[in-house]
């Protein structure tokens, strides 16, 4: 439960018709500590979604290992996909209940925190994209995961909505902490949310550097501190400028 180590030596796609072989991930090593919020930052298309799919157990065609200390079973995963991926023919509440065994009170509580308690009987098509994304986040949280994967969950939201969603995410996570692996290419978002940043480069994907974020959580609402940290990052790690 406490510690997750990811070690992927090789993940490749082969296209048999063209006889092409493309290596997506090479020698990627990543450790996640208990209750740690880690942001993966890298250029789009560098294989981050592939990594998340491997961790979620959707893709088992790779070389390497995913292991937890203190446990032989694979971690219980909650996954917030890039698109909400809700079942359009089930209501908000049914969507959450189908994925988790959470009690109704727990779900009501999550709906309330996310400001969706009035929409639990609505169908996803009747709600905005931002609301659907929040439902997807609730669904992931309701499963009470060991590891929560989030694949750019706030992309294409307008800035105020995105900020609100980030705040709500942090609120939820502090209520019920667990490991989060959050993919983004927005450095500002990453600094606001994470305990630690992991910078990745592409073709094939591997870790460039890891940076812990020293700003205390209560001070992260101050834009200037975030901006200052960001500028300092570019000075300390010049190699990351090419990624963004």
Partner 1 sequence: MKGFIFRPAVLTTLSSLFFLAVWHILATYLNSLTLPSPATVFLVLIEEVQSGQLPHHLSKTLTRLSISFSISMILGCAIGILLGCHQKLNAFFDNWLIIFLNIPALVTIILCYVWFGLVETAAILAVVINKLPNVIVTIREGTRSLDTELLEMAKCYRFSKSKTLRHVIWPQLHPFVMAATRSGLALIWKIILVVEMLGRSDGMGYQLHLFFQLFDVASILAYTIAFVTLIQGIEFFILKPIDNRAQRWRK
Long-range CB contacts for residues 234-240, cutoff 8 Å, separation at least 24: 236/211, 237/199, 237/208, 237/209, 237/211, 239/208, 239/209, 240/41, 240/199, 240/208, 240/209
Residue 56 binds partner 1 (CB under 8 A): yes
* Minimum CB distance to partner 1, residue 78 (Å): 8
Residue closer to partner 1 (CB basis): 81 or 229: 81
CB of 85 to partner 1, least distance (A): 4
The C-alpha R_g of the chain, in whole angstroms, comes to 18
Q: Is 90 in the site for partner 1 (CB under 8 A)?
A: yes
What HEC string does 39-69 produce?
Answer: EEECCCCCCHHHHHHHHCCCCCCCEEEEEEC
CB of 148 to partner 1, least distance (A): 12
The candidate with the shortest Cα–Cα distance to 223, out of 231, 233, 234, is: 231
Determine if 134 is a binding residue for partner 1 (CB under 8 A): no
The smaller minimum CB distance to partner 1, of residues 77 and 226, is found at: 77
Minimal distance in Å, beta carbon 56 to partner 1? 5
Number of residues forming the site for partner 1 (CB under 8 A):
23
The minimum distance between CB 83 and partner 1, in angstroms, equals: 7
Residues that bind partner 1 (CB under 8 A): 53, 56-58, 77-79, 81, 83, 85, 87-90, 98-100, 123-126, 139, 143
């Amino acid at each position: 439960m406490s510690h997750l180590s990811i070690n992927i030596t090789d993940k490749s796609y082969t296209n048999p018709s063209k006889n092409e072989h493309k290596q997506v991930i090479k020698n990627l090593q990543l450790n996640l500590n208990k209750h740690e919020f880690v942001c993966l930052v890298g250029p789009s298309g560098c294989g981050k979604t592939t990594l998340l799919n491997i961790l979620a157990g959707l893709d088992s065609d790779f070389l390497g290992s995913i292991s937890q200390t203190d446990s032989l079973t694979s971690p219980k995963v909650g996954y917030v996909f890039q698109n909400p991926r809700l079942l359009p023919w089930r209501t908000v509440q049914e969507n959450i209940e189908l994925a988790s065994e959470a009690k109704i009170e727990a779900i009501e509580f999550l709906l309330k925190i996310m400001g969706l308690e009035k929409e639990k009987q609505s169908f996803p098509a009747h709600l905005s994209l931002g609301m659907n994304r929040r439902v997807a986040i609730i669904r992931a949280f309701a499963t009470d995961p060991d590891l929560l994967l989030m694949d750019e969950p706030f992309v294409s939201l307008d800035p105020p909505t995105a900020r609100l969603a980030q705040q709500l995410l942090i609120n939820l996570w502090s209520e019920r902490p667990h490991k989060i692996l959050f993919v983004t290419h927005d450095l500002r978002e990453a600094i606001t949310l994470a305990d630690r940043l992991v910078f990745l480069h592409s073709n094939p994907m591997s870790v460039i550097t890891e940076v812990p974020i020293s700003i205390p959580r209560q001070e992260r609402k101050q834009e200037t501190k975030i901006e200052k940290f960001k500028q300092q990052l570019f000075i300390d790690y010049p190699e990351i400028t090419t990624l963004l």
